[in-house]
Structure 1
Amino acid sequence: MKSTIKRRITAGVAVTVAGLLGLTACGGDAGANDEFRIVGFAVPEAANKNIEKEFVKTDAGDGFKVKGSYGASGDQSRAVEKGLKADYVHFSVVSDVTRLVDAGLVAEDWDQGDNKGVVSRSVVVLGVRDGNPKNIKTWDDLVKPGVEIVTPNPASSGAARWNALAAYGQAIKGGASEKEAGAYVDKFFKNVVALPGSGRDATQAFLGGTGDVLMAYENEAILAAQNGEGFEYIIPETTLLIENPGAILKDANPVAEDWLEFVLSDEGQKQFALTGFRPIRDDVDFGGTVEGAADPSNPFPVVPNLLTVADDFGDWDALSTTFFDPENGLVTKSIAKAGLGE
């Protein structure tokens, strides 16, 4: 039975599931009783915890004490907007940060650094059952009769938005017109049998036996294998680069600056890589091997046709309206046609 979208899709959605952390202290380095609150989307929780273990070994991290909560990116962003306290946010999509900029909670120049606000990266992959019984190899295979897809809910999940954009973008890259690409997205959602609230919830649904194909982050597939719940995954020849933003709140604990600097450092990016994320720089040394990857010795293979938001969609403000407007968005309409809407 097809899941029902529980929330309206809002136009300002951008990347990521999110963890929430509040602030109780002020002053320089975190003291023994200080709390540092991270609000993040669900998928990078393990990576952030590993980064924390390394950060506390530094002078800036001495006494560092994290209080975190992770969930669907859009839900987490809206919660912070409504008053949930956070020092640092790590979301799936940029629009979930810009919502907080518009609310006066994050500085307008949050994305002006060399990293353009991005703290973690991945790519959209296709998770399949052991042995790939449906012989899923390409995007065209996803829209064949009888193929059941699990993907998160775009109303709450940034991961869902990356997946939908990848589905549309690969069609355009393959020579389809905008009309034909829209028709592909219609077929895609007609094969969707579950729309869980977050990328992590989608993974759990798939691991529980729902569907033939899981639309997922590459790192989510790798982490599942590291946790003994691995599944095969395919990196399509054409897929989308996922870029997850991180930002500091205006009234954050001062240690937030040191935390973000560490997240972007070689050590921070190494911890992301070891949990399956692609480092944001090519020169990060993570040892060359990542357990749980399809090929641990070549965990992040080059994608022949790697789409990006900047090169293929413009920016999040524009694409949020085009694809996810609650009334006229292309994806919104596809979901409704498939009988997945309210």
Structure 2
Amino acid sequence: MGLWQQVTQPIASKTRSWFELKSRNFVSLFLVGVSLSLAIASCSPNSSNSPTTTAGGSSPAAKTGDVQLTLVSYAVTRAAYEKIIPQFQQAWKQEKNQNVTFNQSYGGSGSQTRAVVDGLEADVVALALALDTKKIEKAGLIQPGWETEAPNNAIVHKSVAALVTRKGNPKAIKTWADLAKDGVAVITANPKTSGGARWNFLGLWGSITQAGGDDAKALDYTTKVFKNVPVLPRDAREASDVFFKQGQGDVLINYENEVLLAKQNGQELPYVVPDVNISIDNPVAVVDTNVDKHGNREAAEAFVKFLFTPAAQREFAKVGFRPVDTTVEKEVANQYPPVKTLFTAQDMGGWDDIQQKFFEDGAIFDKIQAGSR
């Protein structure tokens, strides 16, 4: 059976803590042959950012000649990767007669980006937006042109923005325009600190510019919306807590995949997917410096390619992401509301221009904040 054929038998994967990952080289050098294990459960209520981790001594892969990969991703992808990784492990074993084990780290995309730049030795990064991956590139860890090294310009799955309302939708929120109305309290995170909130902001701005309006109209509209934002939580998780736990706001701007995953877990959230919407494109990349250091480039690149197979794409779809494989896209089309006008970050100039135009100090978002107070 070939590497990319569908497989089903799971093999347990290993996760490593941040401390373990930072210390791996030290431990391998001084404690070869010594095995110790430490189970650390670092969990907080209603948070998927704190995975259970296991720390070990010398690497079993190093002893056997097998291969080890470190995957660093953002929190909401974890449920999919827990299904995908065993399938890849089985395929790699059949193709190469070699075991592959995984260290896994999940958290906020921005925090994960900073951790990799600061020394977390990720072999593969799957982050919420290309801007985060580009920060790792600028740190010299990923070579330019990584977008062309994987299928679909390295976008492994997608989502769109959803407007989550209170039960019965008492404020009759149906479109982006409704968020600017008097008396509508909007909850979104701070785009200066949250990658997810940057997508939200682009959804707001693009709802004007991608529907025929100019920047002046977009600025006026977006300023009105942020006048309706009572607080700016640090990240998407905190924004959800403000809306659901603290009961603030009439509408929460959220990822569609989060809403669909909540539904699968028995929590029905009333929501609207606007007809004009941003394609929330989530990239994956091999971290060149680290795979060359670890000698596992072949396996890392194979794992990235595996993520684009129908088997892996179905797992992403099961947790609410819109697949990029056309066959799977057709299979699950009725799972997602249609979007009339779907635009991308590239339609708005690309991430370098977006960052400079909207989110640098003194740029448009700071001016909006000043005007909305």
* TM-score (norm. length: structure 1): 0.82
Which one-letter code corresponds to 2:168 in the other structure? G
CA distance in 1, matches of 2:361, 2:248: 27
- Choose the corresponding residue for 1:298, options 321, 328, 334: 334
| 1:59 partner SS | helix
Task: Tell me what 1:12 maps to.
Answer: none
Aligned-pair Cα RMSD in Å: 2.9
Which one-letter code corresponds to 1:39 in the other structure? V
1:313 paired to 2:348: yes
Task: Tell me what 1:219 maps to.
Answer: 257
Task: Tell me what 2:79 maps to.
Answer: 46
Instruction: Tell me: CA distance 1:104–1:19, structure 2 relative to 1, closer, same or farther (3 Å).
Output: farther
1:19 touches 1:40 (CA, 8 Å); kept in 2?
no
Q: Which moved more, 1:261-270 or 1:58-67?
A: 58-67
Task: Tell me what 1:330 maps to.
Answer: 364
Task: Tell me what 1:165 maps to.
Answer: 202
The superposition leaves residues 87-141 of structure 1 with CA deviations (integer Å, 9 ceiling, x where unpaired) of 1111111111111111111122211143112111111111111211111101111
Pairwise CA distance, 1:66: 3.2
Q: Which has the higher contact order (CA 8 A, sep 6+)?
A: 1
1:247 paired to 2:247: no
CA distance in 2, matches of 1:322, 1:25: 48
Task: Tell me what 2:175 maps to.
Answer: 138
The superposition leaves residues 164-194 of structure 1 with CA deviations (integer Å, 9 ceiling, x where unpaired) of 0110011123332211111111111111133
CA distance in 1, matches of 2:111, 2:192: 9
Which one-letter code corresponds to 1:314 in the other structure? G
Which one-letter code corresponds to 1:145 in the other structure? D
Instruction: Tell me: CA distance 1:40–1:19, structure 2 relative to 1, closer, same or farther (3 Å).
Output: farther
1:19 touches 1:68 (CA, 8 Å); kept in 2?
no
CA distance in 1, matches of 2:92, 2:109: 31
CA distance in 2, matches of 1:274, 1:286: 14
> Alignment identity in percent?
37
1:106 paired to 2:142: yes
The superposition leaves residues 283-318 of structure 1 with CA deviations (integer Å, 9 ceiling, x where unpaired) of 226853xxxxxxxx71123311111122x2121111
1:152 touches 1:201 (CA, 8 Å); kept in 2?
yes
Question: Aligned runs of 1:37-186 on 2, under 5 Å?
Answer: 37-60=70-93, 63-112=99-148, 113-186=150-223
- Choose the corresponding residue for 2:224, options 183, 187, 198: 187
Q: Max radius of gyration: which structure?
A: 2
The superposition leaves residues 224-247 of structure 1 with CA deviations (integer Å, 9 ceiling, x where unpaired) of 111222311111111111101111
The superposition leaves residues 236-289 of structure 1 with CA deviations (integer Å, 9 ceiling, x where unpaired) of 11111110111111123443222211111111111111111111132226853x
1:257 paired to 2:301: yes
Question: Aligned runs of 1:9-48 on 2, under 5 Å?
Answer: 31=66, 35-48=68-81
Tell me which protein shows more helix as a share of its residues.
2
Which one-letter code corresponds to 1:211 in the other structure? G
* TM-score (norm. length: structure 2): 0.75
Instruction: Tell me: CA distance 1:315–1:168, structure 2 relative to 1, closer, same or farther (3 Å).
Output: same
CA distance in 1, matches of 2:129, 2:50: 14
- Choose the corresponding residue for 1:270, options 314, 331, 338: 314
Consecutive unaligned residues in structure 2, runs of 5 or more: 1-47
The superposition leaves residues 38-63 of structure 1 with CA deviations (integer Å, 9 ceiling, x where unpaired) of 22222322222222243233234974
Consecutive unaligned residues in structure 1, runs of 5 or more: 1-16, 289-296
Count of equivalent residues: 311
| 1:192 partner SS | coil
CA distance in 1, matches of 2:356, 2:313: 32
Pairwise CA distance, 1:333: 2.2
| 1:247 partner SS | strand
CA distance in 1, matches of 2:370, 2:49: 26
Pairwise CA distance, 1:198: 2.8
